[in-house]
Amino acid sequence: MNVHYKNLQQSLFSSTVMASAKIVNVASVPQRSPFRYPGGKTWLIPEIRAWLRSLPRKPEIFIEPFAGGGIASLTAAFENLADHVFMIEKDDQVAAVWDVILKDADWLADKILSFNLTLENTLQVLSTPPHNLREKAFQVILRNRVQRGGIMAPGASLLKFGENGRGIASRWYPQTLAKRIKAIYEHRNRIMFKEADAFDFIPHFLNNPHAAFFIDPPYTAGGKRAGKRLYLYSEIDHDELFSMMAEAKGNFMMTYDDTEEVKELSFRHGFSIRRVPMKSTHHSKMYELLIGPTSISKQSADLFF
Min separation Cβ 298 and ligand SAM, Å: 28
Of 246, 194, 198, the C-alpha closest to 84 is 194
Min separation Cβ 213 and ligand SAM, Å: 12
Min separation Cβ 203 and ligand SAM, Å: 13
99 binds ligand SAM (CB under 6 A): no
Min separation Cβ 48 and ligand SAM, Å: 10
CA separation for the pair 214, 194 (Å, rounded): 16
Min separation Cβ 8 and ligand SAM, Å: 31
Q: Which helix (H) or strand (E) holds 88?
A: strand 84-89
Of 265, 207, 252, the C-alpha closest to 48 is 252
Q: How would you classify the pairing of strands 191-195 and 84-89?
A: parallel
The residue from 47, 91, 258, 288 that contacts ligand SAM (CB under 6 A) is 91
CA separation for the pair 51, 212 (Å, rounded): 10
66 binds ligand SAM (CB under 6 A): yes
Taking CB under 6 A as the criterion, which residues in 175-234 touch ligand SAM? 197-199, 216-218, 231-233
Our CB check for ligand SAM shows the closer of 200 and 302 to be: 200
DSSP letter assigned to residue 129: P
Q: Which sign, positive or negative, has the C-alpha torsion 89, 95, 99, 104?
A: negative
What DSSP letter does each residue of 236-280 carry, written as one string?
--HHHHHHHHHT-SSEEEEEEE--HHHHHHHHHTT-EEEEEEEE-
Draw the binding track, 29-48, toward ligand SAM (x: CB under 6 A; -: no contact).
--------x-xxx-------
241 binds ligand SAM (CB under 6 A): no
Draw the binding track, 108-147, toward ligand SAM (x: CB under 6 A; -: no contact).
----------------------------------------
Binding segment (CB under 6 A) for ligand SAM, from list 62-70, 128-136, 167-175, 292-300? 62-70
What's the number of CA atoms in the CB half-sphere (13 Å) around residue 63?
A: 24
Our CB check for ligand SAM shows the closer of 236 and 246 to be: 236
CA separation for the pair 158, 151 (Å, rounded): 10
Size of the site for ligand SAM (CB under 6 A): 24
Min separation Cβ 65 and ligand SAM, Å: 6
CA separation for the pair 305, 290 (Å, rounded): 9
> Where along the sequence are the contacts to ligand SAM (CB under 6 A)?
37, 39-41, 65-66, 68-69, 71, 88-91, 94, 197-199, 216-218, 231-233, 236
